[in-house]
Amino acid sequence: MVRHIGLLPQGELLAPAKAVAILDMNPPLRASQPDESGVPIVGQMAPDLVGFVELNDDEARAVQANIEDIRRRVPHSTTRQMSHHAIRQYVALPAFEDKPLVAGGPSMLKCSCVGFVLLAYRDVIQLIDDSNLPPIPLNRILEIWPINVQLLQLAGLRGQGPWPVHLPGYVFHAMGRERKDLPYRPRSGDEHFDATQQQ
């Protein structure tokens, strides 16, 4: 089961079982924004699974510009750990939410790890057809995100479910396809991704 997703910074090299820097929404957002000491915040992960989307130079610049936009608009967190303060940056349903702080003023962006990736690619390619996402029950959500149910409610998952949530596995199913076959329409069970099986 795929539990998390992020983006490799440009120039980051992969090697088996090696931890790499990633840009992700954990929460908090770890996308090279400096913390109070000026040290960039990036995630570290030894990925079990890697997906790629071939990008030309213009597309790569568009993705980078989108990441910069996300960084500016997600409320800053002074913590590197999951907390009630950091959860202000996070929303699971919908995958991202862009709301004005005050009427007519600047907006505040919140997103899930999948929402972060989808927003980064938004001007380049639509990876997932979210018009009819499969409903995911609470027990499956807790397998994917083993956190406090109260935090899930803060992230937009209210009630007992099931919910039409964007899951990390869906992105890998999308990346395993030709561009002409995108956006990918997720099916029940796509929270799992077997990289050894041909799509």
Residue type, 75: P
For 46-188, list the strands marked E by DSSP.
Answer: 96-100, 107-111
Query: What digits encode the pLDDT tens for the residues 93-150?
Result: 999 998 876 677 677 888 999 999 999 999 999 999 999 999 999 999 988 887 777 7
Q: Yes or no: say if 130 and 114 are a contact pair by the CB < 8 Å rule.
A: no
Residue 34 has pLDDT above 80, yes or no: no
For the chain, list the strands marked E by DSSP.
Answer: 20-22, 24-25, 29-34, 40-45, 96-100, 107-111
Residue 35 has pLDDT above 60, yes or no: no
So what's the pLDDT on residue 198? 45
What pTM did the predictor assign? 0.86
Residue with tokens 């030709």: 178
